[in-house]
Amino acid sequence: MPELPEVETVRAGLAPYMEGQVLARVDVNRPDLRWPFPERMAKRLTGRRIVRLRRRSKYILADLDDDNTLLIHLGMSGRMIISGDVPGVFHRPEPIPAKHDHVVFHMNNGAKITFNDARRFGAMDLLATAAEADHWLIRTLGPEPLGNDFHEDYLVARLKDRKSPIKTALLNQRIVAGLGNIYVCEVLFRAGIHPARKADKISAERVAKLVPIIRDVLHEAIAAGGSSLRDYRQTDGELGYFQHRFLVYDRADQHCLNGGCQSEIRRIVQSGRSSFYCPQCQR
């Protein structure tokens, strides 16, 4: 499933062709994805101007000029594909409509944005912008890891009584929003913390140091266009490249990349997810 860097990369790719533009037509080709689409979604979106594209956790939020917001969740395999003819910007031949092209946004600038989702775990919803914080997908989310509300004192306070493994705690969206399996593995390796170590047994000093490491990993991944392992693509169809910089994720039985370390990366399963770590470098 796309994590924060992949969703942010998609948002940034869409912004030049959607922000400030009017939805000239919206085609909704099925009644649902993971959940039913909002009632009359195509009609409610047609003619609306997209004022701003934002991201909250793993969701893309399109603020509209009628004080509503379109929430887009890519799910496991969702892709936003840009095509069409934008004067002075690009001409991308329109692909042959595919079986899994479920929603198509026709922009007044000539761009066409197609939401393709083979597994149909994605979702869309319409909500009142002012009531965003109360939406059922958003109301329980913790702070953004790249925002000002996520800082050393906050994380120390949230983890000091957590008896769950640190890996599980960092994946808890109520504690910090948007982190997923790939990037938590990479963060814990850089921090030298074993993924199974109980969160409340880690010193406040070591927990505090996680904050800048989390930000560094996310910034590096966003700059690389995210990580492409299976379905994920950027809006122009290109792969992300951060997977070429993985230090531990998906590297089981390979040599640790820390200079001087003679160990091999190991894999364990935590809460149904693979965790990769170096037994010598992570304690």
Q: Which residues are catalytic?
A: 2-3, 58, 273
**Which ranges in 28-151 belong to alpha helices (H)?**
41-45
C-alpha angle with apex 114: 145 to 129, nearest 5 degrees? Answer: 50
Beta-carbon count within 10 A of 63 CB: 18
> What does the block give as tokens for 142?
């913790």
Name the residue type at position 249: Y
> What does the block give as tokens for 1?
């499933």
> Cβ(224)–Cβ(245) under 8 Å?
yes
Beta-carbon count within 10 A of 74 CB: 23
CA distance 20 to 146: 25
CA distance 109 to 125: 24
**What separation in angstroms does the CA of 196 have from each of 183, 247, 254?**
16, 18, 20
